[in-house]
Amino acid sequence: MDMKNAATLRIMLVLALSLSMFSCKKSSSSKNSSRGTGWAINSKDGGFQYNTSFKEQATAPGLVFVEGGTFTMGKVQDDVMHDWNNTPNQQHVQSFYMDETEVTNMMYMEYLDWIKRVYPPEDPNFKAIYNGALPDTLVWRNRLGYNEMMTNEYLRHPGYAEYPVVGVSWIQAVEYANWRTDRVNEMYLEESGYLVRGARHTATSDANFNTDTYINAPTLTYGGNDSIIKPDGRRSKRVQTNAAGDTINVFANRGTGILSPKYRLPTEVEWEYAALGLTELRSYNVYRGRKKYPWDGQYTRSGKRKVRGDQLANFKQGKGDYGGISGWSDDGADITAQVKSYEPNDHGLYDMAGNVAEWVADVYRPIVDDEFNDFNYYRGNVYTKNAINDDGTVKIVTANDIVYDTLSNGKVIARNLPGEIAQVAVDENETYLRNNFDTSDNRNFRDGDKRSSRLFDDFNEDEEGNASTTKKMYNAPRHNVETDSAGNLIREYDKANSRTSLISDEVRVYKGGSWKDRAYWLDPAQRRYFPQDMATDYIGFRCAMSRIGSKSKQKNKKKN
């Protein structure tokens, strides 16, 4: 090769490298510049700050991903109970996450331990907080059975650590989910450097972490302790100083992508969809056949050669038969079983049939109003907003602001905790001229009760000021519990003969069969209800979480 050609080759190589460096620089810089204005994003000089490197929502502790879709909700078996409360209807569910297993005794004990440390029950101001969170262990008692061992040991003994927690009311399950949200986000913020390491172990009744408070008023978190919420060691990556000398990126917010959505109870439609595990019935873009159980097939015993004849769930097999004859044919449990004792369904979820039935979020009504809505169906919306002080700041609950509620069974629970933002009902500022909602409480919307009846006018008070109750479709007993001046509970049972139903806005759906149920109730479509403030020895729960962003985790899915 002569000198001229060699020089030409070197020039071409230099040009190629320059072009590649320029193109790389352009592509990387375009990620941090606005397509709307061309302005720089995340500039050290200030301006718009945004997480442009966010990839995907992290799967929070304990959860598995459930890809949403369209399915037929409702019964496919003969309706031997003749209650007609879940006739088939088509629904679409957004993708979400759900607990791999039911919440266990050890998981719930961690919650009780935190409550006991932060709100010591020996302090008269906090006694009701801890007592209100305790499961009702007396649910195990039976007037003609000896179950005292479960009464005394089931919740706390390590032999039952991985068994599903029971004796928990719907209200207690919701409070656990709220607490879990705060603890997980507290951990995420520590790991990301927004909180000082070990902050989670320093919580007290007047200085702790709440997710909503951190988002809306971060300087009030941990009682405003700057040494926790503004750790000194975090300077280079996030905290910046703009051209005016002001610090930016001091606190995380929803835009950082670090904070997790809330743990919550799954809606009924989510629970049923997740329990069915419909993937094995899929044929191209339609579902073939019908499913009776979370597993494949029409029987409760396995047909696989290796484990043929083994029971696939923990349920009552017949009168006096809670586990089978001891030995090979036994299902391995008489009361509840340790979680993961049986194979998961296609979504990787364990015990979606049997073991314990599970609370879901919905208020019970016999009908599922798919004519009004067939997308993320849920009955139970009660919309609230943050309470605002006179100076325009959010109102943070203090130890003097705790609201206690006496339930119908006489148990006292705390409706809010110090460090949270006080909530009030939405009003016309949010509802005026809207066509998607017009009131705060939507639990009885289009449900056939007095408000949706042509006889609505007949439910006004009579001449003596007494409200008419005999024509209400949902006319449940109303027990009254009050506290006298000495602090004693006065319980008044509703003895009215005009009551026509057990259904009210305070009864919630529970799904799935339990160790105490026959195989009929293992069908995910079955739905029953129970008062939200009461508990049993066969109802537990698991948590869910909404999915942010893409419907699927697979970017390149096959068409067929």
Give the C-alpha distances (Å, rounded to integers) separating 224 from 200, 519, 524, 539: 15, 54, 47, 40
Residue 70's identity, in one-letter code, is T
DSSP helix/strand/coil, 98? strand
- pLDDT, residue 46, reads 78
Residue 236 lies in a domain: yes
Q: What share of the chain has pLDDT > 70, as a percent?
A: 81
Residue 434 lies in a domain: yes
Query: Is the pLDDT confidence value at 7 over 70?
Result: no
Residue 310 lies in a domain: no
Based on its alpha-carbon atoms, the radius of gyration of the chain, rounded to whole angstroms, reads 28
357-363/539-540 β-pairing: parallel
Q: What is the mean pLDDT of residues 450-457?
A: 60
Residue 335 lies in a domain: no
Q: Please state, rounded to an integer, the average pLDDT across all residues of the chain.
A: 85
Residue among 267, 143, 137, 192 nearest 545 (CA): 267
Number of domains in the chain: 4
- pLDDT, residue 28, reads 43
Helix, strand, coil % in the chain, rounded to nearest 5 = 25, 15, 60
Query: Is the pLDDT confidence value at 328 over 70?
Result: no
Q: What is the mean pLDDT of residues 507-532?
A: 93
Task: Tell me: do 198 and 289 sit in the same domain.
Answer: no
In terms of residue numbers, what domain contains 418? 381-442
Which tokens belong to 343? 């194979």
Do the beta carbons of residue 497 and residue 525 sit within 8 Å?
no
- pLDDT class for 456, splitting at 50, 70, 90? low
Lowest mean pLDDT among 272-286, 391-405, 473-487, 507-521: 272-286
Give the tens place of pLDDT for each residue, 382-411.
Answer: 999 999 999 999 999 998 889 888 888 888
DSSP helix/strand/coil, 228? helix
Dist CA 385 CA 380 (whole Å) = 16
Domain boundary among 407, 425, 442: 442
Give the tens place of pLDDT for each residue, 57-67.
Answer: 999 999 999 99
- pLDDT class for 13, splitting at 50, 70, 90? low
Query: Is the pLDDT confidence value at 85 over 90?
Result: no
Lowest mean pLDDT among 90-104, 350-364, 506-520, 546-560: 546-560
Q: What is the mean pLDDT of residues 328-352?
A: 89
Residue 22 lies in a domain: no
Query: Is the pLDDT confidence value at 4 over 70?
Result: no
Task: Tell me: do 500 and 513 sit in the same domain.
Answer: no
Kindly state the greatest CA–CA separation across the chain.
115
Query: Is the pLDDT confidence value at 164 over 90?
Result: yes
User: Residue 146 burial by CB count (10 A; 0-12/13-18/19+): exposed, middle or buried?
Assistant: exposed
Residue 303 lies in a domain: no
Task: Tell me: do 83 and 177 sit in the same domain.
Answer: yes
Task: Tell me: do 123 and 232 sit in the same domain.
Answer: no
Task: Tell me: do 153 and 235 sit in the same domain.
Answer: no
Dist CA 164 CA 179 (whole Å) = 18
Task: Tell me: do 470 and 528 sit in the same domain.
Answer: no
Task: Tell me: do 278 and 414 sit in the same domain.
Answer: no
Task: Tell me: do 427 and 284 sit in the same domain.
Answer: no
- pLDDT, residue 5, reads 63
Residue among 205, 211, 219, 221 nearest 402 (CA): 205
DSSP 235-259: -SSS-EE-TTS-EE--S--GGGS-S
428-435, long-range: CB within 8 Å, 24+ apart, which pairs?
A: 430/383, 430/385
- pLDDT class for 483, splitting at 50, 70, 90? confident
Q: What is the mean pLDDT of residues 486-490?
A: 77
Task: Tell me: do 363 and 480 sit in the same domain.
Answer: no
Q: Which ranges of 192-286 would DSSP assign to H, the alpha helix?
A: 211-216, 226-229, 268-276
Residue 197 CB-half CA count within 13 A: 4
- pLDDT, residue 9, reads 64
Query: Is the pLDDT confidence value at 508 over 90?
Result: yes
Dist CA 460 CA 438 (whole Å) = 21
Dist CA 405 CA 415 (whole Å) = 7
Q: What is the mean pLDDT of residues 337-360?
A: 94
Task: Tell me: do 72 and 170 sit in the same domain.
Answer: yes
* Distance spanning both ends of the chain, measured CA to CA: 56
Query: Is the pLDDT confidence value at 447 over 90?
Result: no
Lowest mean pLDDT among 110-119, 407-416, 436-445: 407-416
The CATH number for 149's domain is 3.90.1580.10
Residue 29 lies in a domain: no
- Other CB atoms within a 10 A radius of the CB of residue 241 amount to 14
Helix 170-191, helix 105-118: angle, nearest 10: 80
- pLDDT class for 481, splitting at 50, 70, 90? confident
Residue 133 lies in a domain: yes
Give the tens place of pLDDT for each residue, 195-222.
Answer: 999 999 999 999 999 999 999 999 999 9
Task: Tell me: do 371 and 275 sit in the same domain.
Answer: yes
CA angle 436, 442, 444 (to 5 degrees): 125
Lowest mean pLDDT among 42-46, 60-64, 229-233, 477-481: 229-233
- pLDDT, residue 293, reads 79
Do the beta carbons of residue 274 and residue 352 sit within 8 Å?
yes
Residue 96, strand partner residues: 66, 546
Q: What is the mean pLDDT of residues 120-124?
A: 93
Query: Is the pLDDT confidence value at 26 over 50?
Result: no
- pLDDT class for 232, splitting at 50, 70, 90? low
Residue 315's identity, in one-letter code, is F
Task: Tell me: do 113 and 174 sit in the same domain.
Answer: yes
Give the C-alpha distances (Å, rounded to integers) separating 312 from 301, 308, 321, 455: 6, 10, 16, 50
Tokens 């296609």 found at:
346
384-386/357-363 β-pairing: unpaired
